[in-house]
């Protein structure tokens, strides 16, 4: 195959990958509003994603000079690191997407107050990234550091899964700080382990794939958690509302609200608002539980990686 032909093939494969990623992103972004597979629009995105991905995979498997070297996926450390990047994308970015609306809509925080309460999370990442570098230089096994980071993040999510509408700022700050400390311990050792067994000529492609995987994990994680949140709010509201009856209405006698006219409507509206708040809080807690179990399950997988070799590539710091 001539040089010009190779260039054209690579351009076509690049366009296929771009089409697959764009359609996948549109499917995730529009899925909730369009009611997912009940919508023809979502089916179009899904078909484009699967078709373009399949053609790119065929090229990758059969072409003599694929866009990414196949030996990348023969490296156990790198493949496990790709999976971890998906988990990091789900946990880190999904929490970032869920927390601001929760604090503002359920707890009444302003924009500035929300930023201040969430700031310790970033501080924790900065501290633990420095600490992980020190641990690596002292010869601590990177796999143990990664597993410890995931366990700390799982602990923070466990704390968040026990929140209620009465939680105070102190608990929110402590949970955010713990989560930042855990995630910061994961980043550098994970990337060092991913590149430790890779040939230097593969590290550029490996870095691109790691960042791409983290972005895809973030997009999928945010969409997944948002969909679960919306559905859990609906189902929980229905369950809670079924218990608000005349028999349980100790504050309001529902059978006599009509005689109060506007005041009765206001009372029923207040009750419905409180049911909505409780349902939303339960839905957020369910999301935190799920993310906790995902993080907890990922921790022991770190020990499937090979120990680091000397001279590993320098890790690339993540952008949050």
Question: Tens-digit pLDDT profile for the chain (320 aa)?
Answer: 556 666 777 788 888 888 888 888 888 878 878 878 888 889 999 999 999 889 888 887 777 777 778 888 888 999 999 999 888 888 888 999 999 999 999 998 999 999 999 999 999 999 999 999 899 888 889 999 999 999 999 999 999 999 999 999 999 999 999 999 999 999 889 988 888 888 888 888 888 888 888 888 888 888 888 888 988 998 988 888 777 665 555 555 555 555 555 555 566 677 777 888 999 999 999 999 999 999 999 999 999 998 875 444 444 444 44
Number of domains in the chain: 2
pLDDT at 310: 45
Do 58 and 126 have their domain in common?
A: no
Q: Is 291 in contact with 225 (CB distance < 8 Å)?
A: yes
Q: What are the distances in angstroms from CA 274 to CA 36, 214, 244?
A: 29, 37, 11
Do 33 and 82 have their domain in common?
A: no
pLDDT at 37: 83
Count Cβ atoms within 10 A of the Cβ of residue 120 and give its class: 0-12 exposed, 13-18 middle, 19 or more buried.
buried
Do 136 and 184 have their domain in common?
A: yes
pLDDT at 177: 95
Count Cβ atoms within 10 A of the Cβ of residue 181 and give its class: 0-12 exposed, 13-18 middle, 19 or more buried.
buried
Do 118 and 257 have their domain in common?
A: yes
pLDDT at 319: 44
- The span from the CA of 100 to the CA of 111, in Å, is 8
Which contiguous run of DSSP H or E holds residue 46? helix 40-62
Do 228 and 292 have their domain in common?
A: yes
**pTM for the whole structure:** 0.82
Do 59 and 80 have their domain in common?
A: no
Do 230 and 146 have their domain in common?
A: yes
Do 80 and 58 have their domain in common?
A: no
Do 62 and 184 have their domain in common?
A: no
CATH number, domain containing residue 122: 1.20.1250.20
Do 53 and 123 have their domain in common?
A: no
Count Cβ atoms within 10 A of the Cβ of residue 125 and give its class: 0-12 exposed, 13-18 middle, 19 or more buried.
buried
Do 84 and 221 have their domain in common?
A: yes
Domain boundary among 23, 47, 67: 67
Tell me which residue range forms the domain holding 5. 1-67
Domain boundary among 47, 67, 87: 67
Do 61 and 176 have their domain in common?
A: no
- The span from the CA of 248 to the CA of 76, in Å, is 58
pLDDT at 109: 92
Count Cβ atoms within 10 A of the Cβ of residue 317 and give its class: 0-12 exposed, 13-18 middle, 19 or more buried.
exposed
Domain boundary among 48, 67, 86: 67
């Amino acid at each position: 195959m001539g040089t010009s032909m190779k260039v054209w093939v690579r351009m076509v494969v690049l366009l296929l990958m771009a089409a697959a990623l764009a359609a996948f992103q549109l499917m995730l972004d529009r899925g909730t509003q369009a009611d997912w597979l009940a919508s023809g629009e979502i089916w179009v995105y899904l078909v484009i994603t699967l078709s373009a991905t399949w053609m790119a995979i065929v090229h990758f498997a059969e072409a003599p000079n694929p866009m990414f070297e196949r030996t990348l996926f023969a490296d156990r450390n790198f493949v496990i690191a790709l999976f971890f990047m998906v988990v990091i994308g789900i946990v880190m970015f999904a929490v970032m997407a869920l927390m601001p609306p929760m604090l503002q809509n359920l707890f009444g925080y302003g924009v500035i107050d929300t930023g201040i309460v969430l700031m310790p999370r970033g501080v924790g990442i900065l501290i633990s990234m420095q600490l992980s570098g020190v641990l690596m230089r002292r010869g601590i096994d990177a796999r143990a550091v990664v597993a410890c980071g995931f366990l700390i993040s799982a602990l923070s999510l466990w704390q968040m899964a026990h929140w209620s509408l009465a939680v105070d700022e102190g608990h929110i700050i402590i949970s955010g700080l713990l989560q930042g400390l855990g995630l910061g311990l994961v980043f550098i050792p994970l990337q060092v382990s991913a590149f430790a067994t890779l040939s230097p000529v593969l590290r550029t492609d490996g870095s691109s794939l790691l960042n791409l995987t983290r972005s895809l994990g973030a997009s999928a994680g945010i969409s997944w958690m948002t969909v679960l949140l919306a559905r859990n709010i609906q189902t929980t509201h229905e369950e809670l509302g079924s218990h608000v009856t005349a028999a349980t209405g100790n504050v309001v006698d529902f059978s006599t609200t009509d005689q109060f006219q506007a005041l009765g409507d206001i009372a029923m509206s207040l009750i419905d608002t409180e049911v909505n708040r409780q349902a939303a809080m339960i839905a957020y807690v369910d999301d935190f539980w799920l993310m906790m179990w995902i993080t907890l399950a990922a921790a022991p997988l770190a020990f499937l990686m090979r120990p680091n070799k000397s001279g590993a590539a320098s890790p690339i710091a993540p952008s949050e």
